[in-house]
Amino acid sequence: MKYGLKRVKNRHQDLLTQIPWDRLESLLAVYYAVHGFKVEHSGTGKSGGRFDGGIDLKLRKDGEYILVQVKHWNAYKVPHNDVNQLMGLRWNEGATGAILITSGEFTHAAIEAAKRHGHVELIDGIKLREMIAPFVEFSDAAPVPAAQPISVPDALFKQAGGREEPIPLSVRMLIAVAGVVILLLVMRSVIGKLTDTFNAMGQQTIERAQESAARAKRNAENKVARSSSNGDFSPTPAPLQARPPATPQYQTWETTPASSVPNPSESAPKPETAADRNAREAFLKSVPEV
């Protein structure tokens, strides 16, 4: 199973599987034109590159408007999602009916969805071969078991306009390498931008710090200048300098020199004379009694 798709029970190996998808569209256009329908190519085949929501053919006849979608699948079953999508396209286009064609098989859910909607006709690989048998000679129309080896790897299938096309390994490798290169370039660009942003932020932070320091210095200088002009400027005192410790002074006891000792004979009171005695008595008499 690939991409959620189921493998067919019986895989055909005949001329139809070798017909390109655009050639199959042309054969179906001829088939419906022979049956009286006015056919308009709207897919990527004969329309020359136009694409109309997955619709390959538009059929008109007697007031009927039918959308045809072709799935040139031979390895996988067409799921119910394609039936629902075709019903949505029919509603948007205002068509009266829709036909979903595959060169392989439909899932059981797709068949039930078509019955439930009632406006979608399913044409599988067996019925398709019966339809275009008059235009193509099938030398081997018998189905073969799906277990047989497949010519293309199970890997990747490119589905476009109802076709299966294997993607070569070299192309897949080239796409992978290109994706890795693009991813590295994007990462390098993002890292470079982040680095530039961080550098710019750091530079702005440094500039703001320098501006703040310069502004603080100017404010201090202006304050000093205003104080000087008002006369209340006092110079900043010089920083105190440490003084060396003072040498301790010790008191010493020394013997007083003999020469400095007073002579008792010199300091003794002199004897009172008669004149001194008379003067003292006269002073005492002059003092009034209390």
Q: pLDDT value at position 258?
A: 56
Q: For the segment 5-14, what is each residue's pLDDT rounded down to a tens digit?
A: 888 888 877 8
Q: For the segment 58-100, what is each residue's pLDDT rounded down to a tens digit?
A: 999 999 999 999 998 888 889 999 999 999 899 888 999 999 9
Q: For the segment 129-152, what is each residue's pLDDT rounded down to a tens digit?
A: 888 887 766 544 444 333 333 333
208: helix, strand or coil: helix
Binned at pLDDT 50, 70 and 90, residue 269 comes out as: low
193: helix, strand or coil: helix
d(CA 207, CA 201): 10
d(CA 178, CA 192): 21
State the chain's mean pLDDT as an integer: 76
Residue with the bigger pLDDT between 144 and 283: it is 283
Q: Report the range out of 119-123, 140-144, 236-240, 285-289 with the highest average pLDDT.
A: 119-123
d(CA 245, CA 268): 50
59: helix, strand or coil: strand
Q: Is the model's pLDDT at 190 over the cut of 60?
A: yes
Q: Is the model's pLDDT at 197 over the cut of 80?
A: yes
CA 34 and chain centroid, separation: 58
Q: Is the model's pLDDT at 208 over the cut of 70?
A: yes
DSSP for 90-138, please give it. HHHHT-SEEEEEESS-B-HHHHHHHHHHSSEEEE-HHHHHHHHTTTS--
Whether the full predicted model's pTM is greater than 0.85, yes or no, is no
Q: Report the range out of 204-213, 243-252, 272-281 with the highest average pLDDT.
A: 204-213
Q: pLDDT value at position 140?
A: 46
Residue with the bigger pLDDT between 240 and 109: it is 109
Q: pLDDT value at position 154?
A: 36
Q: Is the model's pLDDT at 162 over the cut of 50?
A: no
Q: pLDDT value at position 225?
A: 79
Radius of gyration over every alpha carbon of the chain, rounded to an integer in angstroms: 61
Q: Is the model's pLDDT at 48 over the cut of 50?
A: no
Q: pLDDT value at position 164?
A: 44
Q: For the segment 215-257, what is each residue's pLDDT rounded down to a tens digit?
A: 888 888 888 777 777 665 555 555 666 666 666 665 555 555 5
Q: Which of 148, 80, 162 is nearest to 116 (CA)?
A: 80
**Angular region, 3: left φ>0, alpha ψ -120 to 50, beta rest:** left
